[in-house]
Structure 1
Amino acid sequence: MNIQISDIGHVIQLAIAPVFLLTGVATKLTVLTNRLARIIDRTRVLEDRLKVSPNAEFSAELETLYTRSHLVNTAIASSTACGLLVCLVIAMLFLGDTTNLPLDQYIAGLFVFAMIGLISSFVYFLREVFIASRFMRMQHLLSLQQPR
């Protein structure tokens, strides 16, 4: 097992694309966790207000927030799984090259599963954004209908 510097350089070149993907996934996780934090903050405010005076509007918004938090949590889980799988792809690229093991099919399979996780994360994120936007539009329409 004589590893040449040029071989390591070649593996690093192969691993660059998954590393950039990993950077994108990490950025997406930051966005998702920030959205979840805002949902949690708003939920706490509404729960405190409900304790003081029960209100159907607060309850409806809480239900929407619970749905949104579930979707964001699922998107976070999918993104995290994607990141883990990308890390495994990178590790297997190095392992396969340094040990001459035929890991091509495993690497391809892991990459496909990583993409499925990323797609899933985007789908859940998009659903959460649609729900948030719809609720915001409904609140705006209700505020326009109320007399001043």
Structure 2
Amino acid sequence: MFPDTPETAQAVARIIGQAVAPVFLLAGIGAFLNTLTGRLARIVDRGRVIEPQLLGSVGAEHDRLVREINMVDRRMGLMSSAITSTVASAVLVCTVVVLLFAAALTNLHAGTAIALLFIGAMVTLAAGFFIFLIETRIAARAIRVRKALLTHEVDEAAGDE
């Protein structure tokens, strides 16, 4: 370790400057995780609403609710995967910051390891975004208004004229 000198303070200041970008990245990852967990909570709530309805339904309504609960289950799995991937990215970014400090303070040559960890962080973050994209597309398909309802509304509107 370096002796506690003005040069050491300058080295630490330089390391902090280098670590600022990954720390800002962590803030962005945290915000994204907040979005993911909020979305997961809403999906879970929807599943809790459907479950009792499913148990008391029959016929076509039962079949529709089975399809919906299966979609909710798939969406929960996707959100869980997105959260896992994004948390892994955050852990890798934290490891990059730690290695930046450790390498500078101990004269460890860890440039390759830091670069590989950062690449891993970007890949896992991209995977989290991609999984989120898949889930949002499934959700958009799931919330489409049933044609039977649209037809009924159109028929009612035509009867009012």
What residue number does 1:121 align with? 128
Instruction: State the one-letter code of the partner of 2:98.
Output: A
- Structure 2 CA distance for aligned equivalents of residues 140 and 2 of structure 1: 71
Percent identity between matched residues is 38
Corresponding residue to 1:94 among 88, 101, 111 = 101
Answer yes or no: is 1:37 the counterpart of 2:44: no
SS for the counterpart of 2:143 is helix
Provide the aligned length of Structure 1 versus Structure 2.
147
Shift of 1:136: 1.5
Of residues 61-70 and 116-125 in structure 1, the stretch that sits farther from structure 2 once superposed is 61-70
Q: TM-score, normalised by structure 1?
A: 0.94
Corresponding residue to 1:48 among 46, 49, 52 = 52
SS for the counterpart of 1:53 is coil
What residue number does 1:59 align with? 66
Q: Deviations over 1:85-137 (max 9, x none)?
A: 00000000000000010010000000000000000000000000000011212
- Structure 1 CA distance for aligned equivalents of residues 148 and 28 of structure 2: 38
Map 1:100-111 → 2, pairs under 5 A: 100-111=107-118
What residue number does 1:2 align with? 3
Shift of 1:53: 2.2
RMSD of aligned C-alpha atoms?
1.3
SS for the counterpart of 1:2 is coil
- Structure 1 CA distance for aligned equivalents of residues 107 and 70 of structure 2: 54
Task: State which structure, 1 or 2, has the greater radius of gyration over its C-alpha atoms.
Answer: 2
Corresponding residue to 1:130 among 126, 137, 148 = 137
SS for the counterpart of 1:67 is helix
Instruction: State the one-letter code of the partner of 2:3.
Output: N
**Please, which runs of 5 or more residues in structure 1 have no aligned partner?**
none
- Structure 1 CA distance for aligned equivalents of residues 147 and 92 of structure 2: 44
Q: TM-score, normalised by structure 2?
A: 0.87
Shift of 1:140: 4.6
